[in-house]
Amino acid sequence: MTDVHRFIAIDGPAGSGKSSVSKAVARRLGFGYLDTGAAYRALAWHVLESGADTADAEAVRRAASDFPLVQRLDPDDRRVLVGEVDVTDAIREPRVSSAVSGVARVPEVRAQVNDMFRRVVAEAEYPAVVVEGRDITTVVAPDAPVRILLTAAPEVRAARRAAELAGENAAAVAEALHKRDASDSSVVDFLNAAPGVDVVDSTELDFAQTIDAVLSVIARRRSVERGTDNG
Give 151's strand partners: 201
Q: Which part of the chain contacts ligand DC (CB under 6 A), choosing from 45-53, 127-135, 142-150, 157-165?
A: 127-135
Q: Is 135 in the site for ligand DC (CB under 6 A)?
A: yes
**What minimum distance in Å lies between the beta carbon of 166 and ligand DC?**
17
Site size toward ligand DC (CB under 6 A) is: 15
Q: Is 217 in the site for ligand DC (CB under 6 A)?
A: no
Q: Which part of the chain contacts ligand DC (CB under 6 A), choosing from 24-32, 36-44, 55-63, 69-77?
A: 36-44
**What minimum distance in Å lies between the beta carbon of 211 and ligand DC?**
18
- When the beta carbons of 180 and 220 are compared against ligand DC, the nearer one is 180
**What minimum distance in Å lies between the beta carbon of 81 and ligand DC?**
16
Residues 41-60 that bind ligand DC (CB under 6 A): 41
Q: Which part of the chain contacts ligand DC (CB under 6 A), choosing from 77-85, 100-108, 141-149, 159-167?
A: 100-108
Q: What is the 3-state secondary structure (H, E, C) of the chain?
A: CCCHHHEEEEECCCCCCHHHHHHHHHHHHCCEEEEHHHHHHHHHHHHHHCCCCCCCHHHHHHHHHCCCEEECCCCCCCCEEECCEECCCHHHCHHHHHHHHHHHCCHHHHHHHHHHHHHHHHCCCCCCEEEEECCHHHHHCCCCCEEEEEECCHHHHHHHHHHHCCCCCHHHHHHHHHHHHHHHHCCCCCCCCCCCCEEEECCCCCHHHHHHHHHHHHHHHHHHHCCCCCC
**What minimum distance in Å lies between the beta carbon of 135 and ligand DC?**
5
Q: Is 102 in the site for ligand DC (CB under 6 A)?
A: no
Binding residues vs ligand DC (CB under 6 A):
14, 36-37, 40-41, 100-101, 104, 133-136, 180, 184, 188
